[in-house]
Structure 1
Amino acid sequence: MLLEKATAFITNMYQELEIDDVTMNNRINVIRKEIKETNMYTHTSEELEYGAKVAWRNSNRCIGRFFWDKLTVRDLRHIDDEQDFIHSIEEHINLATNDGKIQPMISIYSNNIEIMNEQLIRYAGYEDRGDPNSRATTKLLQHLNWSSKGTDFDILPLIYRMNLGNLKYHQYTDSLIKEVPIKHDQYPDLEKLNLKWYSVPIISNMDLEIGGIFYHTAPFNGWYMETEIGVRNFTDEYRYNKLKDIAHAFHLDTTTTTSYWRDKALVEFNYAIFHSFKNAGVSIVDHYTASKQFKKFEENEQKANRKVTGKWSWLAPPLSPSLVHNYHKGYDNEMRSPNFLYKKQKNTCPFH
């Protein structure tokens, strides 16, 4: 089975990159021998880079795939020293943030290193404040003797393990994490809520599968679409659940549903998210532009004779979905390789 998956991957790669059949067959023979001797094979850096990019291209839930070939791939499989690992994680955050001009990036490590965080940057969750989505991770950190300020926006440390050793955590320096205060140019009361969000979503709880090989530690990022923050993170009832507070800041009547206060608040708040990021010099995309980019991605894939798969419920934005291209289309949710896969939960902790 592994040889079949490896052969399919190498064949697709070499054909797409227009590498001659002789070179391709030589590579497949090397892989066949390696699998026969070790039940495993090792990707070259070129195969790793191609595979990671195509995994993004195949990601059914991602509306930002137009930029799949712009992904910066960091091959860090050689790292086995703890301090080198921590330095490389902070380097990823710094390079990806890029002073606000977000760079799509993935860092791929050996499976001897584990990351327990859902994202490299995430806010803590307590019983009465913070992000409820992070409560299990926060409890784990407290078990590891981590202490915090107990605010709505405490940055969680990196939780990791080397070579099946003990779990450890590393607290980032404040200057490493770029955060954006949320303001509205017409409603100054919004600023009084002291809301903010971090600049870069770096997913760290998914497996990268390439040609039958699974990389369990491969944190990656793009940039935010405004609704991810403004509709989901801040207003879902099981997240920060701030919609009524936000509506009050906009002086909306929340005593009746017929005032459409929820709808008005969502539109104005997402406007505030988008322009707060822009005014802070941080990359972000609005859901209309993202949909137009996805349409262009579909056109590019059609020209390349590749089928576009997708999960409709993720591609249709959660704000005014019927106004964008994706809403009116159906997509095949077939999972293809290479791809990013959700890890199987081993326990209640940690992990989008």
Structure 2
Amino acid sequence: MHTTESTALDPAAAEGFLRMFHIAHPEAGPVGTRLARVREEIADTGTYRHTASELAYGARVALRDSGWCTSGVPWRRLKVRDLRGCRDAATVAAECVEHLRLATNDGRIRPLVTVFAPDAPARPGPRVWNEQAVRYAGHADGTGDRRYRAFTGAVRAMGWQPPAAPGPFDVLPLVVETEHEGPRLFAVPPEVVHEVSLEHPDLPWFGSLGLRWHAVPLITNMRLSIGGVHYPAAPFNTWFVGSEIGARSLADEHAYGAARPVAEALGLDTSAERSLWRDRAVVELNRAVLHSFDLAGVTVTDHHAESLHRLSWLRSRQRPAGERPAFRLDPAAARRARAGGPARFSGSPVETTRPHSTGRLAELLRRPAEK
């Protein structure tokens, strides 16, 4: 038998959040009336349901306070997609694809949060294993993103087949797990993966390296907690900081290891770290990312602007008082994002069919982009 979340919600956690919400939204009416209804609901069911306004406020505050909220994001107007009725894996995957499409917005990245069904007593919500909706495979021959070699091996064992000629930027399938279905694979349609080919403002040879990166950092494996209610699948995005791509992904030896070929093309001495060849190569990679995203009209920020923003955020940040909304990364979720398992609901069999694209996915992709 697999485990279920059977512990009733703490009414004090709900009360702390609801008082916070009503202070920010006095138009919602007396908090006492709402608290009485919520206490009754918790006593009857072990949990309670947020109103649409409470959910939106909680998600916005959680993103603002998480440190993931990049500069320029208007958190008070952040769009929150309320999909708490979605519990089936195919629907969750389809709506992650729709989120990616909406967020891309022709390069003018639109910050969004999508909230799926919460955990409830004896009825846990769905999980997305992937760290982000778009991640590149790490193949056994060293091609691709080496951080995801274990995850790539796991999804191959579950039925995913990479291209006949594996490349450095093969998009991994989404793995969505539900209690009643187990883990299932879903291909991410290439039509919704907006990528930027990288070139350099001063180095004509840079484009021949064949580097590129996707436009939207859609984080899919963090748990949204609001007033004691936990939403294990609540994908959200802002936009990239250039150094996340250039320094952390492309330059890192444990990811793409692109710093060395860049340094060699620059004619730098790579025989010793004290020559600081790596630092110089990383600067050029970061320049190429910012230049290319700007040239393609895709929203991006640089790490200097972001450092100033984070310092301002830290100075003005309210200290935790009671149960504040938050995005949290559970250790088990972090392991699944890199290792591709183990399954959260161990009693459910792992599906061994190939990734499939549902009719819902096709329907979503036919819609015109919202402006």
CA RMSD of aligned residues (A): 2.5
Say whether residues 1:155 and 2:168 are aligned partners. Answer: no
C-alpha distance after superposition, 1:89-130 (max 9, x if no partner): 221010011111111111110144221211111001123121
**1:149-201: CA deviation from partner (whole Å, max 9, x where unpaired):** 22111001111134431322111222210011111121122212111111111
Match of 2:197 in 1: 181
1:164 & 1:295 partners in 2: Cα distance? 44
Contact 1:66 1:294 in 2 (8 A): no
State whether residues 66 and 293 of structure 1, in contact with CA within 8 Å, keep that contact through their aligned partners in structure 2: no
Contact 1:136 1:348 in 2 (8 A): no
Q: What is aligned with 1:349?
A: 336
**CA distance in structure 2 between the aligned counterparts of 1:338 and 1:248, rounded to whole angstroms:** 47
- The one of 116, 124, 127 aligned to 2:129: 116
Query: Out of 139, 156, 160, which is 1:142 matched to?
Result: 156
Match status 1:213 vs 2:229: yes
Structure 2 match to 1:132: 146
Q: C-alpha displacement at 1:77, in angstroms?
A: 0.8
Q: Assess if the C-alpha contact under 8 Å between 1:124 and 1:131 holds in 2.
A: yes
Write the distance in 1 (CA, Å) between the matches of 2:21 and 2:265.
Answer: 53
Is 1:93 aligned to residue 109 of structure 2?
A: no
1:244 aligned onto 2:250: no
C-alpha contact (below 8 Å) 1:182/1:195 kept by paired residues: yes
SS in 2 for 1:58: helix
**What amino acid maps onto 1:141 in structure 2?**
V
> What secondary structure does 2:337 align onto?
coil
Give the 3-state SS of the residue equivalent to 1:33 in structure 2: helix
Instruction: Tell me how far 1:298 sits from its aligned partner.
Output: 5.4
Could you tell me how far apart the structure 2 residues matched to 1:87 and 1:189 are? 39
1:199 and 2:215 matched: yes
Q: After TM superposition, what 4+ stretches of structure 1 lie above 6 angstroms from structure 2?
A: none
Contact 1:66 1:297 (C-alpha < 8 Å) held by counterparts: no
* Residue aligning to 2:53: 46
Aligned-pair distance for 1:211? 0.3
Closer, same or farther in 2 for the Cα pair 1:129/1:50, shift >3 Å? same
Aligned residue-pair number: 322
> 2:31 pairs with 1, 24, 27, which one?
24
Shift of the alpha carbon at 1:17?
A: 2.3
1:77 counterpart residue number: 84
Q: Which amino acid aligns with 2:133?
A: L
Question: Please, which of 20, 24, 31 is the counterpart of residue 12 of structure 1?
Answer: 20
Q: 2:10 aligns with which of 2, 23, 29?
A: 2
CA distance in 2, matches of 1:335, 1:147: 47
Q: What is the match of residue 338 of structure 1?
A: 325
Q: Following the alignment from structure 1 to structure 2, what is the Cα–Cα distance between the partners of residues 131 and 341? A: 25
Give the secondary structure class of the aligned counterpart of 1:197: strand
Residues 1:224 and 2:240 are matched in the alignment: yes
SS at match of 2:251: coil
Which AA in structure 1 matches 2:137?
A
Taking only the aligned residue pairs, the percentage that are identical comes to 34
Task: Could you tell me which runs of 5 or more consecutive residues in structure 2 were left unpaired when the two chains were aligned.
Answer: 1-8, 119-124, 340-371
CA distance in 1, matches of 2:318, 2:14: 21
**Alpha-carbon distance between aligned partners in 1 of 2:211 and 2:252, rounded to the nearest angstrom:** 15
* Aligned counterparts of 1:252 and 1:218: Cα–Cα separation in 2: 45
Aligned to 1:172: 188
Q: List per-residue Cα deviations over 1:21-50 (Å, max 9, x = no partner).
A: x52111111001001111111111111100
Task: Report if aligned partners of 1:190, 1:250 keep a CA contact under 8 Å in 2.
Answer: no
Residues 340 and 240 (structure 1 numbering): CA distance in 2 closer, same or farther, change over 3 Å?
A: same
Who is 1:290 aligned against?
306
Asked if the contact 2:22/2:31 (under 8 Å) is kept, the reply is: yes
Q: Residue 107 of structure 1 is aligned with which of 106, 114, 129?
A: 114
User: SS of 2:336's equivalent?
Assistant: coil
Secondary structure at the aligned position of 1:159 is classed as strand
Structure 1 CA distance for aligned equivalents of residues 305 and 98 of structure 2: 30
Compared CA separation, residues 41 and 336, structure 1 to 2 (3 A):
closer
Partner of 1:34: 41
Asked which structure has the greater RCO (Cα within 8 Å, sep 6+), the reply is 2
For residue 153 of structure 1, give the secondary structure of its aligned residue in structure 2.
coil
Opposite residue 268 of structure 1, the aligned amino acid is E
Measure, in 2, the Cα distance between the counterparts of 1:190 and 1:145: 36
Please tell me whether the aligned partners of residues 99 and 114 of structure 2 are also in contact (alpha carbons under 8 angstroms).
Answer: yes
